[in-house]
Chains A and B, each alone.
Chain A
Amino acid sequence: AQSVSQHNHHVILSEAASLELGCNYSYGGTVNLFWYVQYPGQHLQLLLKYFSGDPLVKGIKGFEAEFIKSKFSFNLRKPSVQWSDTAEYFCAVNANYGQNFVFGPGTRLSVLP
């Protein structure tokens, strides 16, 4: 069965530190990849997405992600985090032409001021 894993359950960083959150998926076919963020008390928002083309995608709020097909990975990065980035981050995969949409378990990011 298709699955999505995220490397870290909880990441704690100081402001201005660099961030990388890992995401791996198991599906071997064509996939669309997403990162969603859930700020405390707010609904899920799309950070960025990859459908095709340039494997380095840029999203909102200074986030970017790189799709490495050979590694089945889609890691999220930000060069300098802010306290306001404190949130839960979910990687998600849409595979099999929309028949499977699976979220990873999530990574909680805490940024210390």
Chain B
Amino acid sequence: DTEVTQTPKHLVMGMTNKKSLKCEQHMGHRAMYWYKQKAKKPPELMFVYSYEKLSINESVPSRFSPECPNSSLLNLHLHALQPEDSALYLCASSQQVVDYEQYFGPGTRLTVT
């Protein structure tokens, strides 16, 4: 199984809502990542978890809150987002942070109204 799954596929939320994005992999990978991708742009790294500990936070606003409950799951909690946060949010995983390719999920298309 080389699949990274993400739910939901689409999400529309208001600026006062609280929602969560979920990501799951069963490849035994110990590194997991959140990216943000705007239309016609490359993915931008947001967070990296290594062995369930946050190892990289690319200066992401606090309205985005990551969580790694266990080695297979990664969540992104959203609160008080802005319309400019509308984007495709991608989850990825790799065996470890160093020297391994990342496997990407299909993404969650987020629209903030």
Asked if A pairs with B, the answer is yes
Number of interface residues of B (CB under 8 A): 23
Q: Which residues of A contact B92 (CB under 8 A)?
A: 44
Judge whether B42 and A105 touch: CB under 8 Å.
Answer: yes
Q: Which residues of B contact A99 (CB under 8 A)?
A: 56, 97
Max chain A C-beta neighbours (<10 A), residue from B48, B90, B103, B104: B104
- A103: nearest chain-B partner, CB-CB: B42
Judge whether A98 and B101 touch: CB under 8 Å.
Answer: no
Q: Which residues of A contact B90 (CB under 8 A)?
A: 43-44
**Interface residue tally of chain A, by bracket?**
20 to 34
Q: Which residues of B contact A46 (CB under 8 A)?
A: 101-103
Judge whether A106 and B98 touch: CB under 8 Å.
Answer: no
Q: Which residues of B contact A84 (CB under 8 A)?
A: none
- Residues of A bordering B, CB below 8 Å: 32, 34, 36, 42-46, 49, 51, 90, 94, 97-99, 101-106, 108
Instruction: Given A44-B90, A103-B43, output 16 extra A-B contacts at Cβ < 8 Å.
Output: A34-B101, A36-B104, A43-B90, A43-B104, A46-B101, A46-B102, A46-B103, A98-B96, A98-B99, A99-B56, A104-B42, A105-B41, A105-B42, A106-B41, A106-B42, A108-B40
